[in-house]
Amino acid sequence: MIVIKTNRFILRPFQKGDEQSLVKNINNKKIYEATLRIPYPYRLQDANKYIDKCLKVILQNKPKSLSLAIEIDQQVVGGIGLDHIEKHQAELGYWLGENYWGKGIITEAAKLLTEFGFKKLGLARIYAYVYPSNKASMRVLQKNGFTREGFLRKNVIKKGRLLDSYLFAKVVG
């Protein structure tokens, strides 16, 4: 089980009991707008479903995703993870409760998780998709040594609309 403790927060798997603080911090239209799979409104049943899924994935032999809670004062204030773990690569994703924005938390969490991905999971490439309007997320990636590799036109469908994305990636070495 992965647990990474810093002076400010703990990265650890989601667990039963996280539901209330997860809902409190993730249920935000701005988080919904900036991401692809997070619903809004985000209800207790969404949290239950998500945590059940995480608990199942953790038991798998070679899980295709790794989802970690960002914990501060025994509350889940954010989440960060690697998805689509395939051979040597994986997709990085994250969100943070708005009360905690602008303190460098995701920059630090992304650094820890990318290091873990390269060193412990043996990945060679970690990539992320970002909507062009999401300057804060692009800054997080740039501060972590990710470089912009492309502009993907009409890359995703959200609310029935086709949206562009930037592709960022970091590779080992």
Ligand X SMILES: CC(C)(COP(=O)(O)OP(=O)(O)OC[C@H]1O[C@@H](n2cnc3c(N)ncnc32)[C@H](O)[C@@H]1OP(=O)(O)O)[C@@H](O)C(=O)NCCC(=O)NCCS
Torsion of the alpha carbons at 168, 39, 55 and 126, rounded to the nearest 10: 0
The amino acid present at 116, given as its one-letter code, is F
> What whole-number distance in Å separates Cα of residue 73 and Cα of residue 8?
9
Out of 31, 47, 113, 126, the only residue in the binding site for ligand X (CB under 6 A) is 31
Of 90 and 140, the one with the shorter C-beta distance to ligand X is 140
Of 122 and 133, the one with the shorter C-beta distance to ligand X is 133
Q: Which stretch binds ligand X (CB under 6 A): 5-13, 69-77, 117-125, 128-136?
A: 128-136
By the rule CB under 6 A, 135 interacts with ligand X: yes
**Total residues at interface with ligand X (CB under 6 A):** 21
By the rule CB under 6 A, 105 interacts with ligand X: yes
CB of 84 within 8 A of CB of 64?
Answer: yes
Q: Which stretch binds ligand X (CB under 6 A): 13-21, 60-68, 113-121, 130-138?
A: 130-138
Q: Which stretch binds ligand X (CB under 6 A): 19-27, 57-65, 100-108, 112-120?
A: 100-108
Q: Which two tokens stand for residue 151?
A: 């502009």
What phi and psi, each to the nearest 5 degrees, are found at residue 10? -120, 135
By the rule CB under 6 A, 94 interacts with ligand X: yes
By the rule CB under 6 A, 68 interacts with ligand X: no
CB of 84 within 8 A of CB of 65?
Answer: yes
Of 29 and 62, the one with the shorter C-beta distance to ligand X is 29
Q: What is the 3-state secondary structure (H, E, C) of 21-54?
A: HHHHHHCCHHHHHHCCCCCCCCCHHHHHHHHHHH
Binding site for ligand X (CB under 6 A): 30-31, 34-35, 94-96, 101-107, 130, 134-137, 139-140
